[in-house]
Amino acid sequence: MNAVVPGMERKDKGARSLPLGLTAELTYRCPLACPYCSNPADLAQRTGEMTTEEWISVIDQAADMGILHFHFTGGEPATRRDLPELVAAARGRDLYTNLITSGVGLTRERVKGLADAGLDHLQLSVQGVDAASADAVGGYKGGFERKMAVAGWVTEEGLPLTVNAVMHRHNLDRLEETITLALSLGARRMEVATVQFHGWAERNRDALMPTRAQVDAATATVRAARERLKGRLVIDYVPGDYYATVPKACMGGWGLKTLTITPEGLALPCHAAQSLPHLSFQSVREVPLRDIWLEGPAFQAYRGQEWMREPCTTCAHRERDFGGCRCQALALAGDAAEADPACSRSPHHGAMVALAGAASTSGVTEWRYRPAVGKS
């Protein structure tokens, strides 16, 4: 799962500042099977989740480093029975705790238990606006109904609720209804994220790629909704960058603000970084978190600007977008040190736009589901 959470800003913005946020992928297990899941493609080979004690050590190290936000995600983090214990440990170290969940696996009692443990905020993913469309995307019958119930329990507990909606060709035309659904569930914030083509989504690009017209309409819908719902609903929007001209500031800068820990303890500068096969990632089971962040080769690889090439080296935007996404650069330009092809100055931009156009009009309607993994 992906997440953007509103955050406090720290003033020290130097390239070797300590991070503001940590995303803990507690498990890759999930009862759902979304075709755009950002979990790695080789899920079947992944074993060896960290224990409760190992995660509490990560929480302690994060707090000692001055990290402010701790995001629990997965897979489905609620499949971990120790979730309330981990939330309590993070809260006990004054970390802001955020749970990113599909809702499946939560009960009324478990939501109360998480609130009692000190959970600060919950992000609930929705795959569609009704049971038929949502359950078809999630590959899980009854998922939509459970999500609706979870939203009610969350607001009853007084927990702030954000609705996360991943949008693609098959649901973008219902964005307005999705915003209405988020409002009706009592969300104060919504994350509208056009699908990013990493992980399983890359495999399903032809089936999921929106058309340019859909992306343009979505941008207009979000703009109008933000105006109309000012003071009621904050909408964070991740536009589809295949039709962009300027790339997104991926992760707010590589090794600059946040990091991700995988279920087996690998520390990543970005949740998709394992798609860069030339990088090796250190484990928090073997190396202190602070050392990984400050000196780890994967974190150093694209930190700052020394790795950049033209056109980024001389571009005024490099402080703002950091050359875009390294994973997208490798996937579409063949080298992770190239400018993100989402940038109109990239020599690969035209090919990216052509690829998006072809995928969006491919006529492919069936996708390959991510396997619903159940064991640790």
Q: Which residues bind ligand SF4 (CB under 6 A)?
A: 1, 30, 32-34, 37, 39, 74-76, 102, 125, 246-247, 311-312, 315, 317-318, 321, 323-324, 339-340, 343, 345, 370
The CA distance from 333 to 340, in Å, is 8
Which pair of tokens denotes residue 33?
């099977």
Min dist. Cβ of residue 299 to ligand SF4 (A): 20
- What is the nearest approach in angstroms of ligand SF4 to the Cβ of residue 245? 9
Q: How far is the CB of 96 from ligand SF4 (least distance, A)?
A: 21
Interatomic CA distance for residues 265 and 287, integer angstroms: 10
> Smallest gap, in angstroms, from Cβ of residue 29 to ligand SF4?
9
Tell me whether residue 75 or residue 240 sits nearer to ligand SF4 (CB atom).
75
CA atoms within 13 A on the CB side of 1: 36
**Could you tell me which of 265, 263, 266, 271 has the C-alpha nearest to residue 326?**
271
CB closer to ligand SF4, 33 vs 175? 33
Residue number, 30 or 59, with CB nearest to ligand SF4: 30
93 contacts: CB under 8 Å, gap ≥ 6: 59, 60, 62, 63
CB nearer to ligand SF4: give 134 or 312. Answer: 312
Minimum distance, C-beta of residue 296 to ligand SF4, in the bound complex (Å):
24
Choice between 242 and 293, CB closer to ligand SF4: 242
**Residue pair 114/86 in contact by the 8 Å Cβ criterion:** no
| Alpha helices by DSSP H, 229-307 | 289-295, 297-301
Q: Which residues contact 200 (CB under 8 A, 6 or more apart)?
A: 34, 35, 36, 37, 38, 39, 41, 368, 370
Smallest gap from residue 227 Cβ to ligand SF4 (A): 28
Cβ contacts of residue 231 below 8 Å, gap of 6+? Answer: none
Q: Which is nearer to ligand SF4, 113 or 324 (CB)?
A: 324
